[in-house]
């Protein structure tokens, strides 16, 4: 017998898009909350249920990468995108057109019977829909509402539109990421702040629920992805604060280690080695069977290794090139050397550690069949991960929401359906 899921009995209204918001509601759903995605068949939010509602089959075949099973968008592409299905388990989906009176009415009644409302749309979207905290609170004074955008709800940049990587440029992450010898046009894209915001939103929601239980009061949570992520860059900001240092990218280097990412045998196989002490360098020299390096006057201490980092990288890289990264990983770890393979997807799904810990779980969903998915990224001893519902189809739970939660009569529900927005397909005009 497992313990009750922590958020049993909590209902969450979810108008989230792209990654940060949906990631937060994934955690809440996993933990037992009833998460209801409120979607519209007349609007296709960017980068949420795929990139287009009706993608070109031809372009999908030619594109550098594809998110669809066998590169085929299929009959209902919005239920088949890896972009969406990775976070869409344990959620419900209803469709409503919040621009219409009937849609607004349905949403208002859902607010009355919900605990949490989370949205991460561009600033102004909620105002246009009449879903400001002020309004929402008047329907349910105890509601906890979260609005999360790149830069927060107030201030001169609050209206900025962007995806994660654009905001990460604005608040400094791009300026410290990348190859030190190349200019900023070669900066790798990062959306790490989406992941950070998703987790922080879920943390904020549980914190606010606890507060509500103690005080009887709801809350409005303004989570700026930037403000949340600046902590993750804390050392750089402290160095500026203390010393005026303006940090630049250092690639894979760190003052704490002699380290790098080195090519191995095979196609685009790589291993990382991080040497934290001079003893570890000596161990590596002996494993590489290069005792002459121990007498090399260039390499006498960690300090001198740092001075000759390029030469060290060259020596290590030429050696690793002869080995399989997984075999080398175990050999070196067992000799006390910090290292790890750069795990592409094939490595991840074959990894014995993840297998033993049951990290990937098979899920069967109507429109894509059965596949392995990343499970829960943390483990609770009394609440093991459960998939109660596969990645949710658009509008899959309309019957439940309209008939059971909102108590619409059969006739009322049929009348809504005839208006076209209670459906399981995007309108044909939606791109």
Q: Which two tokens stand for residue 291?
A: 């005792």
- Decide if residue 322 touches another protein (CB under 8 A): no
DSSP strands (E only) in 85-214: 92-95, 116-119, 144-149
Contact stretch for another protein (CB under 8 A) within 232-240, 291-299, 398-406, 418-426: 232-240
- Decide if residue 117 touches another protein (CB under 8 A): no
Reduced to 3 states (helix: H, G, I; strand: E, B; else coil), residue 235 is helix
- Decide if residue 6 touches another protein (CB under 8 A): yes
- Decide if residue 261 touches another protein (CB under 8 A): yes
- Decide if residue 74 touches another protein (CB under 8 A): no
Q: CB 302 → another protein: shortest distance, Å?
A: 14
What's CA 17's distance to the chain center, in Å?
A: 12
- Decide if residue 336 touches another protein (CB under 8 A): yes
Q: CB 416 → another protein: shortest distance, Å?
A: 28
Q: Which two tokens stand for residue 126?
A: 């909620």
- Decide if residue 20 touches another protein (CB under 8 A): yes
- Decide if residue 366 touches another protein (CB under 8 A): no
Nearer to another protein, 120 or 398 (CB): 120
- Decide if residue 67 touches another protein (CB under 8 A): yes
Alpha helices in 52-163 (DSSP H): 57-62, 82-85, 101-112, 125-128, 133-139
Size of the site for another protein (CB under 8 A): 175
Q: For residue 15, list its beta bridge partners.
A: 119
Q: CB 402 → another protein: shortest distance, Å?
A: 29
Q: Which of left, alpha, beta for 167 (phi over 0: left; psi -120 to 50: alpha)?
A: alpha
Among 232, 306, 318, 417, binds another protein (CB under 8 A): 232
Closest Cα partner for 205 from 25, 422, 421?
A: 25
- Decide if residue 64 touches another protein (CB under 8 A): yes
Show contacts with another protein in window 76-105 (CB under 8 A): 80, 82-83, 85-87
- Decide if residue 281 touches another protein (CB under 8 A): no
Q: Which two tokens stand for residue 165?
A: 């990587």
d(Cα 99, Cα 353) in Å, to the nearest integer? 49
Among 63, 113, 265, 294, binds another protein (CB under 8 A): 63
Residue whose tokens read 């590489």: 288
Nearer to another protein, 285 or 354 (CB): 354
Q: How does strand 258-263 pair with strand 270-275?
A: antiparallel
């Amino acid at each position: 017998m497992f313990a009750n899921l922590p958020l049993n009995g909590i209902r969450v209204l979810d108008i989230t898009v792209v990654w940060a918001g949906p990631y937060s509601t994934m955690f809440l759903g996993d933990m037992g909350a009833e998460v209801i995605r409120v979607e519209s068949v007349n609007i296709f939010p960017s980068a949420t249920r795929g990139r287009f509602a009706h993608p070109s089959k031809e372009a999908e075949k030619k594109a550098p990468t594809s998110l669809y099973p066998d590169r085929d968008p299929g009959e209902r592409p919005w239920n088949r995108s890896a972009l969406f299905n990775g976070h869409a388990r344990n959620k419900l989906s209803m469709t409503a057109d919040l621009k219409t009176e009937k849609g607004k009415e349905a949403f208002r009644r859902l607010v009355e019977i919900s605990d949490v409302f989370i949205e991460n749309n561009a600033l102004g979207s909620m105002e246009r829909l009449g879903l400001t905290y002020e309004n929402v609170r008047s329907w349910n004074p105890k509601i906890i509402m979260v609005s999360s955008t790149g830069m927060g709800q107030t201030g001169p940049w609050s209206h900025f539109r962007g995806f994660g990587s654009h905001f990460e440029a604005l608040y400094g992450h791009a300026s410290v990421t990348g190859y030190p010898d190349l200019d900023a046009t070669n900066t790798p894209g990062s959306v790490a702040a989406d992941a950070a915001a998703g987790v922080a939103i879920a943390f904020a929601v549980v914190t606010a629920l606890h507060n509500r239980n103690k005080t009887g009061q709801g809350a409005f949570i303004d989570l700026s992805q930037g403000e949340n992520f600046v902590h993750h860059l804390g050392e750089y900001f402290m160095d500026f604060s203390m010393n005026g240092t303006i940090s630049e990218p250092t690639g894979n280097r760190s003052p704490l280690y002699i380290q790098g990412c080195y090519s191995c045998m095979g196609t685009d196989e790589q291993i990382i080695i991080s040497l934290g002490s001079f003893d570890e360098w000596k161990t590596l020299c002996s494993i590489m069977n290069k005792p002459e390096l121990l007498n090399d006057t260039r390499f006498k201490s960690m300090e001198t290794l740092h001075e000759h980092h390029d030469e060290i990288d060259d020596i290590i890289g030429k050696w690793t090139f002869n080995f399989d990264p997984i075999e080398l990983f175990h050999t070196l770890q067992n000799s006390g050397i910090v290292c790890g393979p750069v795990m592409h997807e094939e490595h991840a799904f074959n990894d014995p550690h993840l297998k033993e810990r049951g990290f990937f779980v098979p899920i069967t969903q109507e429109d894509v069949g059965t596949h392995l998915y990343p499970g829960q990224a943390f483990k609770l001893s009394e609440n093991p991960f459960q998939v109660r519902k596969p990645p949710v189809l658009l509008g899959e739970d309309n019957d439940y929401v309209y008939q059971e939660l909102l108590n619409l009569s059969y006739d009322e529900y049929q009348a809504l359906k005839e208006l076209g927005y209670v459906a399981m397909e995007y309108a044909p005009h939606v791109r």
